[in-house]
Copies of this chain bind each other. A is one copy, B any other.
């Protein structure tokens, strides 16, 4: 997903990358003000001291801009969770992880939208950007395993818990901490359930679904 002509010399490449970062940062600012889907390329260009066609030296299209923002947001996410202090008790570490993720979403609604909701028609992360998202996912999964969670179903439940807390936080108390406060209890509730089921790992309860499983 390289833009148009990638700069040749190191010096030029450096400036190119720097300018690209300011464009992405300004795009975030516009998205926060008007909404993610309402970013105007002409206004974005103005904000970074360029004319609209010049943006095409950095992005092939508007979707490519969203792609860069997607990767950028996921890098922020990785940065935040890797900065968390190590805990002897992996369960306590899990609590803090979930609290931090909920805070992260609460801090920036549109960032949460781009990263976790499919809100832009036609947008799909490029392989490179998707790899960043998977890196985050791998880190989270590793912490889960440390806390003794390995069953796929258990993992699905955990992702549901986290996405539920973050979504409610963003939707009903953006900038606040109403669901951040519930994170500890939710994680402890979850770990209690996991501990309950690991005694008999063979018998997996399944919901009487009306649809036949695939």
Contact = CB atoms under 8 A, between A and B. Distances in A.
Interface of A: 34-38, 95, 99, 103, 109, 113, 116-122, 153, 156-157, 159-165, 167-168, 171, 176-186, 189-190, 192-193, 196, 205-214
A185 B157 contact: yes
B160 A181 contact: no
Given A159-B164, A159-B168, A163-B168, 10 more contacts: A35-B120, A35-B121, A37-B37, A37-B120, A38-B121, A113-B118, A118-B171, A157-B185, A157-B186, A210-B214
Nearest to A38: B121
A163 B167 contact: yes
A179 B160 contact: yes
A49 B153 CA distance: 48
